[in-house]
């Protein structure tokens, strides 16, 4: 049975709206492929059974098997430079021809170059790193390194957080949809309320008074032996951007209690929030930062645990030991990503377009009672509604019009376009959301009219 907690990551694959949408939009060939997908894959929330099937991904756009184009503002948070960027493809092709893999015991030029560039850019002195084939695996390495470095095992992390879906990652994660029914998780994984001024359990009522940080201080003092505090610098699922003082205080508190500060920036590093590392907006130095997703150029699985000076203490054991630890193809893609961010000025563009998009949305959606708040950090934009059902209805309206995005924490429309998205595509997307919100707020009766209108709108936009 579907519960509210199932909605925490939005767009679950069990809803009636999804079935209705599929009945209206899928052709026979797509249905057949989806049926086969559902036959061979183990079913799980938020993946199989799938919504639709794809034939292409280029720039900001997907093409489904029926040939419809979909502007992708979801992208699993990995398409900072869009899909199939020529620089990534060229770097991968060249590497594929010469060094398709690099077995353990050997290093290679792309891996060393990417390590150097990331460590030099990282917001901490004397950084070193380890690569991993995915964000979850890199979080696991961070947890192990924190234990080794401190001789402690406890962690403090946030309710509602996501750090990956493995047992160690769901132990520090805080979303029921990943934890329910799994049995005992890692001992010593304590949870506290996140910084969420709109729903602050400490009564901040919209404007953060840092009571949640005071509570972390209290917990660290009471426990006395916490290895690390782990937190998403900006929570991607619903675009929670803590105030500047939050991290200044958290840094001081961690230092006072001997706990390491681990920042999870897997979906938000590499320009999403307008900075290479999201923590740069806060001006503090974490002990570790974990990145991933877009690091593989929207193609290869690649993540990195970056640790400050003094944390090179794991020589006696294997922290990761992943087969694809120094995959030259993935690292070549990563180097191309850093070049593209630089050459296309994507950090500045993310900040500028993000600000403009939030301003436009605030004026487009002004006076709409359904809208609770619009917030953003670079080109990560959240439109929080009062109602989860409406959020889902708006999503399916937009999917019909050819726009995909994520719904986070049930009722936040999360927009994460490529940082090099065409401006006209971005403004078109905002219009679609405005239109869908407008129509859905008036009730579901006009679905067909609306979709007719949306389809024409899409056609005009593309031609």
Ligand X SMILES: Cc1ncc(COP(=O)(O)O)c(C=O)c1O
Q: Are 379 and 236 in contact (CB under 8 A)?
A: no
Q: Rule CB under 6 A: say whether 163 interacts with ligand X.
A: yes
Smaller CB distance to ligand X: residue 377 or 458? 377
At residue 71, the 3 state secondary structure works out as strand
Number of residues in contact with ligand X, rule: CB under 6 A? 14
Give the integer Cα–Cα distance in Å for 176 and 6.
7
Question: How far apart are alpha carbons 260 and 227 in whole angstroms?
Answer: 6
CA end-to-end distance (rounded Å), the chain: 43
Of 110, 140, 164, 286, the residue at the interface with ligand X (CB under 6 A) is: 164
Task: Scan residues 223-252 and list those touching ligand X (CB under 6 A).
Answer: 232, 236
Length of the chain equals: 463
Please pick, from the candidates 231, 266, 332, 407, the single residue that binds ligand X as defined by CB under 6 A. 266
CB of 5 to ligand X, least distance (A): 17
Kindly tell me which of 139 and 401 has the beta carbon lying closer to ligand X: 139
Shortest reach from residue 388's CB to ligand X, in Å: 20
- Residue 409 interacts with ligand X (CB under 6 A)? no
What is the number of other CB atoms lying within 10 angstroms of the CB of residue 24?
A: 12
Could you tell me the smallest distance in angstroms from the CB atom of residue 267 to ligand X? 4
Q: Which of 59, 135, 286, 402 binds ligand X (CB under 6 A)?
A: 135
Under the binding rule (CB under 6 A), the answer on residue 130 touching ligand X is: no
Q: CA-CA distance, 305 to 291, in Å (whole number)? A: 7
> Whose CA is closest to 124, among 214, 251, 292?
251
Give the tokens for residue 442. Answer: 């008036």
Angstrom distance (rounded) from CA 260 to CA 167: 21
Q: What x-and-dash track marks residues 301-330 binding ligand X by CB under 6 A?
A: --x---------------------------
Q: Which CB atom, from 263 or from 430, has the smaller least distance to ligand X?
A: 263
Taking CB under 6 A as the criterion, the residue among 8, 52, 136, 157 binding ligand X is: 136
Residue 85 phi, psi (nearest 5): -60, 130
Q: Of the listed pieces 27-35, 103-111, 146-154, 259-267, which binds ligand X according to CB under 6 A? A: 259-267
DSSP assignment letter at 68? -
Q: Does a cis peptide bond (omega within 30 degrees of 0) precede residue 140? A: no
Closest CA to 347 of 298, 299, 277: 277
Closest separation in Å from C-beta 292 to ligand X: 5
Beta strands 406-408 and 412-415, pairing class: antiparallel
Measured from the CB atom, the residue of 232 and 238 that comes closer to ligand X is: 232
Candidate segments 208-216, 263-271, 328-336, 397-405, binder of ligand X by CB under 6 A: 263-271
Two tokens, residue 425 = 């595509």
Nearer to ligand X among residue 160 and residue 264 (C-beta): 264
Taking the complex as a whole, how short is the minimal distance between the CB of residue 379 and ligand X, in angstroms?
A: 16
CB of 300 or CB of 390, closer to ligand X:
300
Distance CA 15, CA 134 (A): 29
Q: Does 160 bind ligand X (CB under 6 A)?
A: no
Contact region with ligand X (CB under 6 A), list: 105-113, 202-210, 262-270, 448-456: 262-270
Q: Which two tokens stand for residue 446?
A: 């006009």
Q: Which stretch binds ligand X (CB under 6 A): 80-88, 95-103, 128-136, 412-420?
A: 128-136
**Crossing angle for the helix pair 109-121 and 328-343, nearest 10 degrees?**
40
Q: Does 267 bind ligand X (CB under 6 A)?
A: yes
Residues contacting residue 251 through CB under 8 Å, at least 6 positions apart = 261, 284, 285, 286
Query: Does 80 engage in binding with ligand X (CB under 6 A)?
Result: no
Binding of residue 264 to ligand X (CB under 6 A): yes
Measured between alpha carbons, how far is 365 from 438 in angstroms, rounded to an integer?
9
Binding site for ligand X (CB under 6 A): 134-136, 139, 162-164, 232, 236, 264, 266-267, 292, 303
């Amino acid at each position: 049975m579907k519960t509210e907690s199932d909605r925490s990551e939005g767009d679950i694959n069990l809803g009636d709206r999804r079935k209705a949408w599929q009945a209206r939009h899928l052709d026979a060939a797509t249905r057949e492929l989806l049926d086969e997908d559902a036959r061979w894959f183990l079913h799980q929330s938020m993946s199989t059974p799938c919504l639709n099937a794809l034939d292409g991904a280029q720039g900001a756009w997907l093409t489904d098997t029926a040939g419809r184009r979909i502007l992708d503002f979801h992208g699993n948070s990995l398409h900072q430079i869009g899909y199939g960027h020529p620089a990534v493809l060229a770097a991968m092709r060249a590497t594929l021809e010469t060094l398709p893999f690099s077995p353990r015991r050997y290093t290679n030029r792309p891996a060393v170059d990417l390590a150097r560039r990331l460590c030099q850019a990282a917001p901490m002195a004397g950084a070193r790193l380890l690569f991993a084939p995915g964000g979850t695996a890199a979080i696991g390495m961070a947890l192990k390194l924190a234990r080794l470095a401190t001789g402690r095992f406890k962690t403090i992390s946030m309710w509602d957080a996501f750090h990956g879906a493995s047992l160690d990652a769901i132990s520090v994660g805080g979303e029921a949809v990943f934890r329910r029914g799994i049995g005992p998780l890692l001992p010593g994984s304590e949870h506290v309320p996140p910084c969420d001024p709109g729903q602050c359990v400490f009564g901040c009522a919209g404007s953060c008074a840092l009571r949640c940080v005071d509570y972390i201080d209290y917990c660290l003092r009471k426990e006395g032996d916490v290895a690390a505090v782990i937190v998403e610098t900006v929570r991607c699922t619903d675009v929670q951007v803590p105030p500047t003082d939050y991290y200044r205080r958290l840094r001081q508190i961690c230092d006072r209690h001997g706990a390491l500060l681990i920042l999870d920036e897997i979906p938000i590093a590499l320009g999403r929030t307008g900075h290479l590392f999201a923590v740069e907006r806060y001006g503090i130095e974490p002990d570790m930062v974990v990145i991933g997703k877009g690091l593989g150029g929207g193609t290869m699985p690649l993540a990195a645990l970056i640790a400050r000076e003094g944390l090179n203490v794991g020589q006696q054991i294997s922290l990761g030991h992943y087969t694809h630890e120094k995959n030259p193809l993935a690292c070549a893609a990563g180097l191309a990503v850093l070049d593209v961010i630089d050459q296309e000025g994507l950090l500045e563009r993310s900040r500028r377009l993000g600000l403009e998009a939030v301003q436009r949305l605030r004026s487009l959606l002004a006076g709409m009672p359904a809208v609770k708040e619009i917030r953003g950090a670079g080109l990560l934009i959240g439109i929080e509604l009062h109602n989860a059902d409406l959020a889902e209805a708006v999503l399916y309206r937009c999917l019909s019009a050819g726009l995909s995005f994520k719904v986070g924490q049930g009722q936040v429309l999360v927009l994460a376009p490529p940082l090099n998205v065409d401006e006209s595509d971005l403004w078109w997307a905002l219009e679609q959301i405005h239109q869908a919100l407008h129509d859905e707020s008036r009730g579901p009766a006009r679905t067909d009219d609306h979709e007719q209108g949306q389809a024409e709108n899409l056609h005009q936009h593309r031609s």
